[in-house]
Chain A
Amino acid sequence: MILRGLFPVLMICFNSVQALDVKLTQDKEFVEVIHGDKLVRIQRIQDQDHMLEGSFAKTSRKCPPFCIQPMSAGEGVRTVGQVEIFSFMESELLDGTGVIVDSRTPSWWKRGTIPGSINIPFTTFTLEVNDPQLIEVMKSLGAKRRGEVSGFSRAIEQIGLMGGSQKNDEWDFTNAKNVLLWCNGMWCGQSPRAIRGLLELGYPADKILYYRGGMQAWQSLGLTTIVPDN
């Protein structure tokens, strides 16, 4: 009787100490992120004999347009790898000061994405500056569309006063979030285009991160993916 009562407790203990053989890093087994209304655990495939399947096992696609991208997506933009993404997920993403953007078109997004990402297709950043969709998206990144700004105020801002380094004629980036953008990987031009679009809008380069490995590298490492609900 006592043993029967202890069984669930022992199971819980067993589960909590069961370590993963294939960890993310030496000291990290998994990371947890919030994706929509779900809490998702990101870890690697534990089967050490598993070979990559699906579209990302493919080595070659026609170039152009699927050409190898340079390491840098823009001056001042930091290129990051998976370990930096895990840290980003456990810090900026967790506290809402950062966003992970799947910058691919919706037809890619709906087939599976990196948990914790939101979908902002790269085409959004080429919209007219007054387009409500662009204004809404920029707002979600913490950038504010500016109203009429007097020449005098701009002159003061341009010499670096009144927070001028974070503003241009159109946008106020004072509260802009750190944005980590990715697409299909080193052969994909969608996130580099999104980054160019953001830079053209004046988004501060030091708040932009580029995950060049994208879904290709994510899949190669057997990391968790999620199919969005909508």
Chain B
Amino acid sequence: MQKRALLSMASLLFLCSAQIAYSQVNSSYIETIEGEASGMKLDAQTRVQPQKEATLNENFGKIEGGAISDLSQGFTLEQFEDILKNNYIGSYLFYKRLNDEQKLEVFSYYQSNPDPQKVRLKILQVTKAQ
């Protein structure tokens, strides 16, 4: 009985010391990487240029959710935009920056390709052609 109690205590001590050792390794690791971080400097030329970033509000305006949830064939332009807004917010943000003519180009593409991935690529393609 006593032997068993001693064994349990020994295993508990072993587990505790292993845990402490693990924490020590972890904390010394973190200490070292934090030390390296303190002097970290990125190449200034890679920093994003002001004209290459814009706030989403400036670019996209207000975003409101709609009601339809699935992209399939036969939707009107309004419904199509509603679906993008609800389910493909990233694509919708890019879509919203397009002018009316480009939006129609995407919509007409969707009518023959009602596949979210294809529509997304089309939006990107039109965005980049701007």
Contacts and interface: CB of A to CB of B under 8 A. Distances in A.
Nearest to A62: B32
Given A34-B93, A93-B90, A111-B37, A222 B46 contact: yes
Interface string A210-226: 00000100110011111
Nearest to A223: B46
A32 B127 contact: yes
A76 interface: no
Interface residues of B, number: 41
Interface string A87-111: 0001101111000000011011001
Interface residues of A, number: 51
- Max count, chain B CB within 10 A of own CB: residue among A61, A91, A94: A94
Contacts, number: 120
Interface of A: 16, 29-30, 32, 34-35, 37-41, 43, 45, 47, 50, 52-57, 61-62, 65-66, 90-91, 93-96, 104-105, 107-108, 111-112, 115, 123, 126, 189-190, 215, 218-219, 222-227
B56 A34 contact: yes
A109 B83 CA distance: 35
B57 A37 contact: yes
Interface string B58-92: 01000000000000000000000000000011110
Interface of B: 26, 29-30, 32-34, 36-48, 52-57, 59, 88-91, 93-94, 116-117, 120-121, 124, 127-130
Contacts of A32: 94, 127
- A interface, over-half SS: loop
11 contacts: A38-B56, A39-B54, A53-B45, A54-B41, A54-B43, A56-B42, A96-B90, A108-B33, A126-B26, A190-B33, A224-B48
